[in-house]
Structure 1
């Protein structure tokens, strides 16, 4: 398994790649644009190429892009749906320039139109996006905490989207977020319950389509439908279940990326020493011989 984390860039992409290597990562996730904005930045072909070269030099593979949160391919609103398609298309195109292997996105909400209609809408949107983007970048559907009318919390909903798009089997996969699993109500606190959850997943989705695991703890209750991440060891999921998940041979091909909050000092400066410990802790869960 490859291990990395979501890195802030602050418009300094090369520095982000170098820092990821310094804290023990061999994979990386970044945003390609403002995660809460519709308007992407102007193209910077030279800067993108420099990042791709730096990431390769730092041994970061895969490079993963997280799409903006505003994207909602399940929306029944035509304007919002078209804007979502345009922004996700742009994200995959920039991802190719950045050397990314995967772009991860939240499937969105049906906004009252119903689950079946929302899933059909997502599949239509994905078809538009993948037909207009580079083949080397794979699109990953991320599971959700299941609040309100959101889609993708149930494994069955993710499977339904994949099943509607057999022609894109090689370009469409899945990302599982541990905090989202917990928030939806999938109990991954112990070895026994985690194996049960994992079996539910592989019964519906080919485990080879799982490409990324977002490794996050949370302080929110099981089934709370709250999406709040915590650092490893500072939440309530517990290590037994996470260890079982990460060491299961059916999914040991997936990259593990942490999206945990970055600790800061009294001057609001990133405390990367704390993240070195977090990466080491994640490695200990993945493989016992790397234990602290």
Structure 2
């Protein structure tokens, strides 16, 4: 009976020690200029600078405008020796994980409770792609992140300590940028009316290509605080190519005219324009535009800059019907 009592006492002792709770702790974030702020006000931002070595002394400003050091303060016996950091996407999906991030002693920030001891992480970098995350200089302190997502700080192998949102850059010429949302619409133009799509082969595969591209675009622009929305919400339209409605005058080297006539059919209506010798493309194009307008069409004139080896710039004429629809242009006689 005595042995049973002793065994029960041992189990009780082990159980109480394994469930003991650590005392209260405080957290701060420190930016590249050694400015500290409470963890509740901290915002991580995606990297805009190349990987660089961190100072050996954690009290020295690291200078990175986006990376943050995380400071944990409390009683010495309550402080963790390692930290885990998880990265979550904007919709809560796990993106990346840093396990066992080392902590170094550091003087506590101003305002820390008296008697607190503090430890600090290296500068933690939230990055947009795996290539940056795996760079040898920063591999142990960089993790993939997403604009609108979050970094979750945890005791190593234990519970959550804090969550830090991932926003736009904290320091810019126009001030901090939290998060902007731009609306993106993709129009895929078929190679011919009713023909093949430009990518993917069919609608489903083309959509997958477009959504993957949007993911890369979001990663690129996220460091500027701009998102084009979740790939799953992307609006994709399929369209036939427009009819041949553009007449380019002087394309190529933009040489003066040798004289003659430009004959074409616009929406089935024949139009002929006499061109004088020596006319430059801009003059010839405007004479053609006048002929088309006299035939009842609406013409938009666009002058192009001269190419390096050209004599003059070319001019484009976009021809529309009176109602605004594009007019099909064909060589006269076809």
Q: TM tier, shorter chain? A: under 0.3
Give the TM-score normalised by structure 1. 0.22
Higher helix share: 1
Higher strand share: 2
